[in-house]
Amino acid sequence: MKLVLEKAVDFQKSIAAISVLIDEAEFILDENALILKATDPSQISMIDFELSKGSFKEYSVESKMKLGMDLDYLNQIMSRAKSTDMLSLELSEDKSRLIVQFKGASTRRFQVPLIDISSVELPNPKIDFDATVKLKAAVLQDALKDAALISSHVSFGVESDKFFVKANSSKGSLENETKKDDKNLIELNASSPASSMFPLDYLRDMLKVPSGDAEVSIKLKSNAPVELSYSIGAASLTYFLAPRIESE
């Protein structure tokens, strides 16, 4: 098995975005793609990460394999990638370690121990969403900072002409509205209005890595999990997050 990626920083950002929620997980490699699906320890959120074969400069995987990793440690290693580094991933001869090599001005080889994780394959939740919004990450990142002043929970909602974020508590309240004609709102489709309340910390973690300019897609249905997705280079990341069922 050998994978070579032209831009180590794309993989770096992906791992950063995953490890903020997940401590340990298995990468699954088959002939088509590198995949990681996992729930956070509390099982409130789920991540679905995929980097297809075509994104790699070299992709040789003989047979389907699973590589269990301490994602926090892998994230520390990946954070040492420089902007011009190329990344190669190989197994050590005894197959107990992943060799992570950065090649740029100098060559740096890390060996990261693999760990045993007995995981079941997770299906993505099947939800018949009522509304889809595409907007700049900055809108959400800002709204979450606003809401953090008020409460540890936040409502995302869509009406025919706007996307809104609300928070309420004895400390006060927040309403953050982005209208359909706002340049930061790229797409808004709603078969009916939808709104759900979510734990703020999880949303914050999910939106930590993308730059403010990145496009984020949100799918909503009242009192159902939200699907939140974006791309990092050729990698696609999709998050699901369970709602807080009780109404405000």
What residue ranges bind a copy of itself (CB under 8 A)?
73, 76-77, 80, 82, 97, 105-113, 139, 142-143, 145-146, 149-150, 170-179, 182-184
Nearer to a copy of itself, 48 or 146 (CB): 146
Nearer to a copy of itself, 56 or 102 (CB): 102
Rounded CA gap, 225 and 46, in Å? 10
Contact 18, 37 (CB under 8 A): no
Amino acid of residue 51: L
Nearer to a copy of itself, 143 or 220 (CB): 143
Amino acid of residue 34: L
Helix, strand, coil percentages in the chain from 3-state DSSP, rounded to 5: 15, 45, 35
Rounded CA gap, 193 and 120, in Å? 35
Least distance from C-beta 75 to a copy of itself, angstroms? 10
Question: And the tokens for 13?
Answer: 């950002």
Any bridge partners for residue 167, and if so which?
A: 174
Secondary structure letter of residue 7 according to DSSP: -
Least distance from C-beta 120 to a copy of itself, angstroms? 28
Rounded CA gap, 62 and 79, in Å? 28
Question: And the tokens for 60?
Answer: 């040789």
Cα–chain-centroid distance for residue 218? 12
Least distance from C-beta 185 to a copy of itself, angstroms? 9
Nearer to a copy of itself, 143 or 200 (CB): 143
Least distance from C-beta 71 to a copy of itself, angstroms? 14
Least distance from C-beta 113 to a copy of itself, angstroms? 6
Rounded CA gap, 243 and 202, in Å? 11
Least distance from C-beta 42 to a copy of itself, angstroms? 27
Nearer to a copy of itself, 182 or 201 (CB): 182
Nearer to a copy of itself, 31 or 187 (CB): 187
